[in-house]
Structure 1
Amino acid sequence: MASSPTFGETKYLVAVDLDEASIARSTPDIEHERAVAIYDLIEENAFAPVGDAPDAGPYRLALAIVENRLALAVTREDGSEVVTHVLSLTPFRKIVKDYFLMCSSYFEAIRTASPSQIEAIDMGRRGVHNEGSQILMDRLAGKIEVDFDTARRLFTLICALHWRG
């Protein structure tokens, strides 16, 4: 894990767990996408609960859906509790829907469109993904500090939680 000057050497995630009781299992393909999203997030991230002691990490993150809200339970690597934040999923509904539409268009274009059309759709898809990542950063402001790349990976995981197959 490369350290960032803003985050320090211990401000990162070492594990992300999904609550099986609240996040329904899905098709093998979607389970694979969720696993890849978690792997990408763990592989490289900058993550720091606001107000936690310096060098108190690394952290574990448990995600659950509780009453249509996203619960983010943060613990230390040893399992001791740090904080739990609950975010409304409402601000994410439209952007996740838009992202799925862009992904669908992209995968359809791969089969039939010209390279320049595929590139244009992909740029749009990335733009929507960036917008969702910024919404997530805004929702986490004052709660959990993440860099933009980590917000992108977390947004990918939030999308993966919504995939039903």
Structure 2
Amino acid sequence: MGDAKHRRRLMSVTLDEVSIGRGNPDQEHERAVAIWDILEANSFAVPGDDGGPYCLNISLVEKKLALDIRRESGDAVIVHVLSLTPFRRVIKDYKLICDSYYAAIRSATPSQIEAIDMGRRGLHDEASELLRERLNGKVEVDFDTARRLFTLIFALHWKG
């Protein structure tokens, strides 16, 4: 399968255990689910490079995410360092609304839960667009892939 769609994707996502560290079982589960979701369906390409599918290794370097993108063969394509500073507010807000959502599930009415969930989805969409903007010119991802990548970024910050 050598078509462009097959090449414009991630075939693996790994986390650097040395810089990111392992989380508690809940954190590890959230990270694993986020990675599975990314690999299940994604659109990922490096502008000017048609050598995908790609392998992505994520590490933490001086409180920034280093996205080490390689070809299936292991050959380096690019390392993009992504500052997390622009994401601080949205990650904080997303955590608050997720906490509210999980609390609401226990005691709120369906319409209250739906309203909180709509807010959560709106923040997730905002974070996804921010991620696409921050990757612009370095990595091309569609909106759904950006959403899944933000879920993983959030899971890296989540304290169970």
Place the TM-score, normalised by the shorter chain, in its bin: over 0.9
Asked if 1:93 corresponds to 2:88, the answer is yes
Q: 1:40 aligns with which of 37, 41, 47?
A: 37
Identify unmatched segments of 5+ residues in structure 1: none
Equivalents in 2 of 1:91, 1:113: separation in Å?
Answer: 32
Equivalents in 2 of 1:68, 1:116: separation in Å?
Answer: 39
Corresponding position of 1:78: 73
Give the alignment's TM-score, normalised by structure 2: 0.96
Asked if 1:14 corresponds to 2:11, the answer is yes
Aligned residue for 1:70, secondary structure, equals strand
Identify unmatched segments of 5+ residues in structure 2: none
Higher relative helix content: 2
Aligned length: 158
Equivalents in 2 of 1:63, 1:48: separation in Å?
Answer: 16
Equivalents in 1 of 2:90, 2:26: separation in Å?
Answer: 22
CA shift for structure 1 position 9: 2.6
For 1:111-150, list aligned pairs within 5 A. 111-150=106-145
Equivalents in 1 of 2:97, 2:13: separation in Å?
Answer: 27
State the one-letter code of the partner of 1:25: R
Q: Which runs of 4+ in 1 moved over 4 A?
A: none
CA shift for structure 1 position 25: 1.3
Give the alignment's TM-score, normalised by structure 1: 0.93
Corresponding position of 1:29: 26
Q: Percent identity of the aligned residues? A: 62
**What is the CA RMSD across the aligned residues, in angstroms?**
1.1
Aligned residue for 2:19, secondary structure, equals coil
Equivalents in 1 of 2:8, 2:14: separation in Å?
Answer: 18
Q: 1:106 aligns with which of 97, 101, 105?
A: 101
Equivalents in 1 of 2:61, 2:159: separation in Å?
Answer: 17
